[in-house]
Structure 1
Amino acid sequence: MSAGAVVQAALVAALRADGDVTGAVTAVFDAPPVRSARPWLMVEEPVLTPWGTKDAEGWEARISMLAEDEGERPLRLRRLVETVGAAVEGVPGDLGEGWRLVTLAVLRSRIVRAGSQRWTAVIELRARMLRVD
């Protein structure tokens, strides 16, 4: 598995294992849902840039997570953004497939109106990982 696929799968697994996250959304996806009730959360494919050392392959992944909800105000999405930030702290350092997570940080988040009563939250993360095999 590629470094991007490994870190995306680890994030999806950590979010699905967190009771606060699963209690706040109908589902956590790794691709855009075809049909799902709102609110839902999706971990997008990472954008990778080289982040290695002289003797170890490494990648920096920029990962966006999208959440959609309905309502007059984005109250549930505000709580979800905080919940997701806490949940990603539980991603294990050993990602599997020979990859080790060095750092994982929430960079920024934003909530925007996506329709008359629809809202979208974007949460951006940075993960740095090294090959350890």
Structure 2
Amino acid sequence: MIAGTLLQAMLVARLRAVLTMASVFDAPPVRSSRPYVVVDTPVLTDWGTKDAAGREGRVVVQLFDGGEVPVRLRDLAAAAEVAVLSAPAGLAGWRVVSLSFVRSRVLREGDGWVGALEFRVRMLAG
């Protein structure tokens, strides 16, 4: 299976298990009440070696919430960051070599809030 698809599915499952106060999706939902989380499809490039296939890339976790202030969104983002960074290294046919936090952002959007957490991932086949 494609490395990015496996990584995204693992992160969705991980966040669903940890973030009980929000729905978690692998694509923007057609209908969902806030708060909810979307794990974007990872953007990966080649990171292989002479004898092993590898991928390096970025994965973004988007968080959506309503309200006057982003307090709940910030709590949700903190829990999501811990969940992603403590994710298991083993995937079917791939091994996560490193998974690190890159940046985060919280912005006002309409009558709600949107946050984004970006992570760098490096994976090797096998």
TM-score, length basis structure 2 = 0.96
Q: Offset of 1:52 from its aligned partner? A: 1.2
- Counterpart CA distance in 2 for 1:17 and 1:104 is 19
Aligned counterpart for 2:125 among listed residues 108, 119, 131: 131
- Conserved? CA contact 2:77–2:115, under 8 Å: yes
The alignment of Structure 1 onto Structure 2 pairs a total of residues equal to 126
User: Which residue of the partner structure matches residue 111 of structure 1?
Assistant: 106
User: Which residue of the partner structure matches residue 71 of structure 1?
Assistant: 67
Q: Which runs of 4+ in 1 moved over 2 A?
A: none
Report SS of the residue matched to 1:123.
strand
Cα deviations by residue, 1:38-58 (Å, 9 ceiling, x for unpaired): 000000011111111111100
Which runs of 5 or more residues in structure 2 are unaligned?
A: none
Aligned counterpart for 1:22 among listed residues 20, 23, 38: 20
Which runs of 5 or more residues in structure 1 are unaligned?
A: none
Report SS of the residue matched to 2:69.
coil
- Conserved? CA contact 2:11–2:87, under 8 Å: yes
Q: Offset of 1:106 from its aligned partner? A: 1.6
Matched, 1:89 2:106: no
2:37 corresponds to which letter in structure 1? L
